[in-house]
């Protein structure tokens, strides 16, 4: 009598049985939870930000729902020569500009002269954020002028960390320059400033506008933003979707244009991100349990593709950015842990089956060491 025939008879009589668990061992579930916590920690620490920006750039480059660009911002490059900003603003308003923002630091005399303008209520002066917080008497901007917090490059007195701390407070001392000009709630730096990826914003030299008003076709209905056209600190300014290094003027201009066109991207907050990752991890765990390893990886590929498509649709259709990078990392980690747990469970089941067969069939049928030898498992698996 062969090994297969003997084992089949014992199985038919009910003498040889090995319980098959329908759930993964507890260490696999613990591994899934630990993976979720690790991904969440990496996300909150910013370690996944470069990869997140790369995924964002990829989705922006696809642009399945591209809209014709309708810029609402006019850039004015401030040169090194002295400029009468009161004359510049008067010429801009005469040409149909709706409001003017200064993304450069102004002296007290320049601010006083701007305050005497009949259009002062439509002028927003940028104030370095940390300077306003630590030395409020350094810049006196009173109504009808308006003030907006202005970011300055990190290399200048190391203010970047201080700015991030202040801007993340629940009650920042000032709304950002872009938020004040766009009339929206102040928040962190605009995410996805180059979402539409259209042609460059129109720009003029401030010195030329000081001599004569620009043509109305170029400036009517726009918001003029005055700033430095070239700055050695421009490489520090970065935002997802940006295809090249931006000068401070371009950075603030694109941010403002995004807000004015209501194309700013909303990201999930910490609580929503944590709930989303937990939901994805537990869903992947439950879905993967009844699947074989080969099927599990097929389902993983399909779910990642669906997650990517859903993220693109929400981005282009509703201006919502899902945590795509965190979701992808979570899906891969959960799949690896679950499939490893299933393989371990199957390995233990086969070893238990071989040991039980060895005990019940006798040593003359199953020699010593049968359960530890891989070359005999095929006979047991194919019973």
- Over its length of 383 residues, how does the chain's per-residue pLDDT go in tens digits? 554 555 555 445 444 444 444 444 555 667 777 777 777 777 777 677 778 777 887 777 776 555 555 778 888 888 777 788 888 888 899 888 899 999 888 888 888 888 888 888 899 888 876 555 544 445 567 788 888 877 655 444 444 444 455 445 444 556 778 888 888 766 555 676 655 555 578 888 888 888 888 888 888 888 999 988 766 444 444 556 665 666 778 878 888 888 888 777 777 777 777 788 777 777 777 776 666 766 767 777 787 888 888 888 888 778 888 888 888 887 777 777 777 777 777 777 788 887 777 676 655 555 555 555 556 555 555 44
d(CA 264, CA 171): 21
Q: Which residues of 5-18 are buried (b: 16+ CB within 10 A; e: fewer)?
A: ebbeebeeeeebee
pLDDT in the model for residue 372: 57
Q: How far, CA to CA in Å, does 338 sit from each of 282, 293, 297?
A: 11, 9, 10
Comparing CA positions, the residue from 286, 284, 313 lying closest to residue 300 is: 284
pLDDT tens, 124-168?
888 876 555 544 445 567 788 888 877 655 444 444 444 455 445
pLDDT tens digits for range 4-23: 555 555 445 444 444 444 44
Whole-angstrom distance, CA of residue 308 vs CA of residue 313: 9
Tell me the CA distances in angstroms from 116 to 110, 142, 206, 235, one per residue in order: 10, 11, 20, 36
Q: pTM score > 0.75 for this model?
A: no
- Per-residue HEC secondary structure of the chain comes to CCHHHHHHHHHHHCCCCCCCCCCCCHHHHHHHHHHHHHHHHHHHHCCCHHHHHHHHHHHHHHCCCCCCCCCCEEEEEECCCCCCHHHHHHHHHHCCCCEEEECCCCCHHHHHHHHCCCCHHHEEEEEEHHHHHHCCCCCCCCCCCEEEEECCCCCCCCCHHHHHHHHCCCCCCCCEHHHHHHCCCCCCCCCCCCCCCCCCCCEEEHHHHHHCCCCHHHHCCCEEEEEECCCCCHHHCCCCCCCCCCCHHHHHHHHHHHHHCCCCCEECCHHHHHHHHHHHHHHHHHHHCCCCHHHHHHHHHHHHHHHHHHHHHHHHHHCEECCHHHHHHHHHHHHHHHHHHHHHHHHHHHHHHHHHHHHHHCCCCCCCCCCCCHHHHHHHHCC
In DSSP terms, 99 is beta-bridged to 223
pLDDT of residue 160: 47
- Predicted pLDDT of residue 170: 42
pLDDT of residue 101: 92
- Note the pLDDT of residue 151: 66
Look at residue 289 in the predicted model and tell me its pLDDT. Answer: 67
Peptide bond into 185 cis (omega under 30): no
């Amino acid at each position: 009598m062969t090994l297969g025939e003997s084992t089949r008879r014992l199985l038919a009589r009910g003498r040889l049985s090995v319980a098959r668990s329908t759930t993964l061992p507890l260490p696999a579930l613990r591994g899934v939870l630990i993976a979720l916590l690790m991904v969440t920690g990496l996300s909150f620490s910013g370690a996944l930000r470069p990869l997140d920006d790369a995924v964002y750039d990829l989705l922006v480059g696809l642009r399945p729902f591209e809209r014709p660009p309708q810029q609402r911002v006019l850039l004015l490059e401030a040169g090194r020569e002295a400029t009468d900003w009161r004359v510049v603003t008067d010429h801009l308003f005469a040409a149909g500009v709706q409001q003017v923002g200064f993304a450069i630091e102004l002296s007290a005399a320049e601010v006083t002269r701007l305050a005497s303008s009949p259009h002062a209520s439509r002028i927003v002066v940028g104030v370095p954020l940390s300077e306003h917080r630590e030395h409020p008497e350094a810049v006196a901007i009173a109504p009808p002028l308006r003030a907006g917090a202005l970011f300055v490059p990190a290399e200048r007195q190391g203010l970047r960390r201080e700015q991030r701390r202040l801007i993340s407070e629940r009650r920042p001392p000032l709304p950002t320059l872009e938020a004040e000009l766009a009339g929206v709630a102040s928040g962190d730096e605009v995410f996805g400033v180059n979402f539409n990826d259209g042609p460059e914003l129109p720009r003029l030299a401030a010195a030329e506008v000081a001599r004569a008003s620009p043509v109305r076709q170029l400036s009517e209905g726009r918001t003029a933003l005055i700033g430095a056209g070239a700055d050695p600190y421009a490489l520090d300014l970065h935002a997802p979707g940006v295809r090249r290094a931006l000068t401070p003027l371009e950075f603030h201009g694109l941010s403002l244009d995004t807000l004015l066109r209501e194309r700013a991207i909303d990201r999930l907050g910490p609580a929503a991100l944590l709930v989303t990752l937990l939901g994805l991890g537990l869903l992947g765990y439950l879905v993967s349990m009844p699947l074989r390893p080969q099927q599990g990886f097929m389902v993983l590929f399909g779910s990642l593709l669906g997650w990517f498509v859903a993220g693109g649709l929400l981005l282009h259709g509703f201006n919502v950015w899902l945590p795509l990078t965190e979701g992808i990392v979570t899906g891969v980690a959960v799949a690896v842990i679950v499939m490893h747990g299933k393989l371990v469970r199957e390995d233990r089941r086969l070893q238990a089956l071989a040991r039980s067969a060895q005990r019940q069939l006798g040593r003359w049928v199953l020699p010593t060491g049968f359960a530890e030898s891989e070359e005999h498992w095929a006979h047991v698996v194919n019973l």
